[in-house]
Copies of this chain bind each other. A is one copy, B any other.
Amino acid sequence: MSKNLTQRAEDYSKWYNELVVKADLAENSGVRGCMVIKPYGYAIWEKMQAELDRMFKETGHSNAYFPLFVPKSMFEAEEKNAEGFAKECAIVTHYRLKNDPDNKGKLMVDPNAKLEEELIVRPTSEAIIWSTYKNWIQSYRDLPLLINQWANVVRWEMRTRLFLRTAEFLWQEGHTAHSTPAEAIEESVKMMNVYAEFAENFMAMPVVKGVKTESERFAGAIETYCIEALMQDGKALQAGTSHFLGQNFAKAFDVKFANAEGKQEHVWGTSWGVSTRLMGALVMTHSDDNGLVLPPNLAPIQVVVVPIYKSDEQLEAISVEVEKLVSTLRKLKISVKFDNRTTHKPGFKFNEYELKGVPIRIAVGPKDLENETFEVARRDTLTKEVVSSEGIEKYIENLLDTIQKSLFDRAFEYRNSHITEVNSFEEFKSLLDTKGGFFSAHWDGTSETEEKIKEQTKATIRCIPLDRKEESGSCMFSGKPSVGRVLFAKAY
């Protein structure tokens, strides 16, 4: 297998596009802007789903499923949300095809089957879900209502990129209702923390927790909490958001509850989501010029074993030893594949698993059988070691932990060395393209300044970090007073 991968230094964006396809993660489909998630890519997504789903359930949430379509009138109900979302989306206007009388074998839209009201393919489900919650919530005893949905959504993006920006994508969206604002805020923060924990412990991807500025906030939210990650090319990526909706949707859809005193009040809401975009973030956090690098905690295949042999007898002898190893590793819940295909050479296989980011590759040849050893190669460091077969399972188990930690540490170090404090707009502009990363700078708190900086540099405020220290200063752009630094970056 020849990789022929564009090198990152040459063209990072091209490297990404090629890698996603060549590593069998996803590809473009015959439908504009929609991707096919291939089995290997989907297996990683399934691992992400499994962990997130477990975390959602452990924090008291249940899954449910709401309709794909949202009638236009429901969309309009929450004005800010409609304004922010409903412009570019897929609209169903008809419900029947018929044979085209002028073109034998062809179909046409039946003009007699026009819908009375257009249906929007959900770009997000607040509207349809809050219109349902109206009937589910009567009393404080029905609260909190803690629901999550795994679903596909559609946003008619003009410029798409696999995983990062596609017309259709997969995601989860949590939608909760509470009796007090404090409880709803606590929920928003809790879910931001769940996302951060997932990103760091499973994706090995360090994130900054913060809140969005008004102009970057979710349309219809009072506050948007977010986690922001840094990609290898110095651009930031928003990896998850959690919104405190106040009573906006409750009021738009008239969702009230009787409190303990019997008084009617509107409920308080949150929504939060992460999507298949995380797949793009995973690729751009760890991978290298040889292909994917996957953290063991999300790798569909954690260990691959490749036999090196010249004869059927050698392969047979090797297989006996490998089968023992495979069964020992599986008992430790390690996902292991024995690639005994006779149609491909070891070199081809080595390249393939390097491209696909399998964390550990074990090679076994006749010499290893003699010496009772295995050759163990790490994908992250591209280093090899000869290891005695005695106790190998423990060695592998530890090595997987080491790799997981080491990937995080490497990304953490990179990220930290790319948070640059700047105190003037000139400094900011000169470092933005040469160094990249996050820039910690004073800002006067106005959308006007934010907009002007964006116009001149394409950089946006990624977040106001939750742990920022109070520090009075003056805005790097306007010179007006500021109460603390925010993080600017160019972003995906």
Nearest CB in chain B to that of A100: its residue: B76
- A132 to B27 Cα, complex, angstroms: 10
Residues of B within 8 A of A30 (CB): 71, 74, 128, 131-132
Report if A132-B65 is in contact (Cβ < 8 Å); known contacts: A76-B105, A152-B152: no
**A88–B118 CA distance with the chains assembled, in angstroms:** 16
A51-82 contacts to B (CB < 8 Å): 62-72, 74-76, 79, 82
- Cβ–Cβ contact B107 & A96, under 8 A: no
In the complex, A43 has a CB within 8 A of chain B:
yes
- Given the interface pairs A29-B66, A128-B29, A132-B29, the reply to whether A141 lies near B93 with Cβ below 8 Å is no
B62 and A37 within 8 A (CB): no
A96 to B39, CA, bound (A): 32
**Which single member of B29, B45, B46, B67 contacts A168 (CB below 8 Å)?**
B67
Whether A106 sits at the interface, judged by CB under 8 Å, is: yes
On chain A, the number of residues with a Cβ less than 8 Å from chain B's Cβ atoms is: 64
| Min CB gap A456→B, angstroms | 29
Interface contact B89-A91, CB-CB below 8 Å: no
Q: Closest approach, in angstroms, between the C-beta of A403 and any C-beta of chain B?
A: 24
Question: Is the CB of A87 closer than 8 A to any CB of chain B?
Answer: yes
Separation of A42 and B132 alpha carbons in the complex (Å) = 16
Q: In whole Å, how far is A174's beta carbon from the nearest beta carbon of chain B? A: 13
Are A36 and B66 touching (Cβ within 8 A)? yes
Least distance between A409 CB and chain B CB atoms (Å): 32
B39 touches A64 (CB 8 A): yes
Residue of B whose beta carbon sits closest to that of A118: B109
Question: With an 8 A cutoff between CB atoms, is A343 at the interface?
Answer: yes
Q: Is the CB of A62 within 8 A of B42?
A: yes
Chain A residues engaging chain B, CB cutoff 8 angstroms: 27, 29-31, 34-39, 42-43, 45-46, 62-72, 74-76, 79, 82, 86-98, 105-107, 109, 118-121, 128, 131-132, 135, 141, 147, 151-152, 154, 156, 168, 170, 343
Known: A31-B119, A36-B64, A96-B156. 18 other contacts (CB 8 A): A30-B128, A30-B132, A34-B67, A36-B67, A37-B65, A38-B64, A39-B63, A42-B65, A46-B63, A65-B170, A67-B168, A75-B97, A76-B105, A91-B94, A91-B97, A92-B92, A93-B94, A121-B121
